Amino acid sequence: MQNPENPDLARCPQCGTEAPRSEMRSQMIVQRGRNPETNRPMLINRLMLFCKDKPCGGHYQMGCEG
């Protein structure tokens, strides 16, 4: 997520820590979703920013898997 007051800062979606974008790590998250046109199940790939020094990306992925 992007901070509206300071666009150079990003917030980790897992732990909520706010840090400069240069100190964040991007990770591809795979999750289940539905096709909006046919309502059939499908996989959604999202590129998200997470903390570089914590396992936040892996924890978020495990939460998406259920």
Q: What is the per-residue burial (b if ≥16 Cβ within 10 Å, else e) of 10-23?
A: bebebeeeebeeee
Q: Is residue 3 scored above 80 in pLDDT? A: no
- Each residue of 36-59: pLDDT tens digit? 999 999 999 999 999 999 999 999
Q: Is residue 2 scored above 60 in pLDDT? A: no
Structure pTM?
0.80
Residue 17 pLDDT: 93
- Each residue of 13-30: pLDDT tens digit? 999 999 999 999 999 999
Residue 8 pLDDT: 87
Which H or E run includes 31?
strand 24-34
For the chain, the domains span 9-65
